[in-house]
Chain A
Amino acid sequence: AQSVTQPDIHITVSEGASLELRCNYSYGATPYLFWYVQSPGQGLQLLLKYFSGDTLVQGIKGFEAEFKRSQSSFNLRKPSVHWSDAAEYFCAVVFMEYGNKLVFGAGTILRVKS
């Protein structure tokens, strides 16, 4: 079955440190993948997306993600975290056979310590 796994429920990093959030997917065809960010009580903001082509994609706010087909992964990275990056991050895959609905992981809560 199509699914998205985010193994880390919480991650704490120091301000200025690098960040990597993990995402693994299970999908039979070529996946279309997204990372969204959600601040408390807010909706979802798209950080970046991968459809095809270059496997390293750049997004907003200095984030990037790398698609690795052999590992079924789409990990999110940022070289230097800012306190304002504290939020919850969701990885998602488009389920194209069913009206392009999104299937989300359970999310990773990022805490930034000063």
Chain B
Amino acid sequence: DTGVSQDPRHKITKRGQNVTFRCDPISEHNRLYWYRQTLGQGPEFLTYFQNEAQLEKSRLLSDRFSAERPKGSFSTLEIQRTEQGDSAMYLCASIRQGSYEQYFGPGTRLTVT
């Protein structure tokens, strides 16, 4: 499978715990995006990387959120001290240089109890 993969697919955690999600983009894609999708809404942009550089962060990304893409390949999204409002689907997408067509992974569904 050469598509975008995300791990885990589902995560249930208790409020106050830290969680980390992983995204593996399509191998030749140099840009990687994170989106958050809450129930009944379309995905909302969180942040994006070009290679290993994080170039933009949404105001949705509070100080409890951090994302990395250390070698310009896979990326991680960490949420510290989770809150119930963090419950959502977290989607990752990647894109190759010069293209506008984003390819999405299956998402990680986070439930904070």
Binding site for B on A (CB under 8 A): 4, 9, 32, 34, 36, 41-46, 49, 51, 90, 92, 94, 96, 98-107
List residues of chain B with CB within 8 A of the CB of A98: 56
Which of B11-19, B61-69, B78-86, B99-107 lies on the face that meets chain A?
B99-107
List residues of chain B with CB within 8 A of the CB of A41: 107, 109
A-contact 0/1 string along B40-84, CB 8 Å cutoff: 111111001010000110000000000000000000000000000
Instruction: Specify which of B6, B100, B104 is in contact with A44 (CB 8 Å cutoff).
Output: B104
Residue on B nearest A41 in the bound complex, by CB = B109
Instruction: Specify which of A42, A49, A99, A105 is in contact with B101 (CB 8 Å cutoff).
Output: A49
CB distance from A111 to the nearest CB of B (A): 15
Instruction: Specify which of B4, B102, B105, B107 is in contact with A102 (CB 8 Å cutoff).
Output: B102
C-alpha spacing A44/B94, complex, angstroms: 12
Instruction: Specify which of A43, A99, A101 is in contact with B106 (CB 8 Å cutoff).
Output: A43
Evaluate contact between A101 and B100: CB separation under 8 angstroms: no
C-alpha spacing A94/B93, complex, angstroms: 13
- Please count the residue pairs between chain A and chain B whose beta carbons lie under 8 angstroms apart in the complex: 63
List residues of chain B with CB within 8 A of the CB of A94: 100
Evaluate contact between A106 and B50: CB separation under 8 angstroms: no
Evaluate contact between A106 and B45: CB separation under 8 angstroms: no
Residue on B nearest A95 in the bound complex, by CB = B45
Instruction: Specify which of B48, B56, B104 is in contact with A43 (CB 8 Å cutoff).
Output: B104
List residues of chain B with CB within 8 A of the CB of A34: 101
List residues of chain A with CB within 8 A of the CB of B29: none
CB distance from B113 to the nearest CB of A (A): 19
Evaluate contact between A100 and B95: CB separation under 8 angstroms: yes
Evaluate contact between A51 and B100: CB separation under 8 angstroms: yes
Residue on B nearest A90 in the bound complex, by CB = B42
Evaluate contact between A90 and B43: CB separation under 8 angstroms: yes
